[in-house]
Amino acid sequence: VQILHRGKAKTLTRRQWSWIKRRQAVEPVIGHLKQDCRLNRCYLKGAQGDALHVLGCAAGYNLRWLMRWIAFLRAWLQAMAGASLSLVHRSPLTFGA
């Protein structure tokens, strides 16, 4: 196992640099899992319990992410539908009276 440090940026190859960037992208997710999903304390017994706890936390994180995306998509579709309906109800032949 080789541990890569950002301090040696000039001596790193492109592949090593991509691994560092990948690790930097994953670490905030793990931090949120520890804080938001109660990953800091596992009440299940043994290594298998630890593995199940991590999988449950990750599944919950993914479901929350998916639900946020669906809510955003729904709001966007409603906004687009409202905009298209407002254009249909306007008549180009009405003049200011």
Q: How many domains does the chain have?
A: 1
Residue 9 has what pLDDT? 64
Highest mean pLDDT among 8-12, 39-43, 59-63, 74-78: 74-78
Position 92 pLDDT exceeds 70: no
Residue 21 lies in a domain: yes
Residue 3 lies in a domain: no
Residue 1 lies in a domain: no
Global model pTM greater than 0.75: no
Residue 58 lies in a domain: yes
DSSP 1-30: -----GGGGGG--HHHHHHHHHHHHHHHHH
pLDDT tens column, 18-71: 888 887 787 888 787 777 777 777 788 888 888 888 888 889 888 999 999 999
Full residue range of the structural domain in which residue 30 is found: 8-89
- The rounded distance, in Å, linking the Cα atoms of 88 and 86 is 5
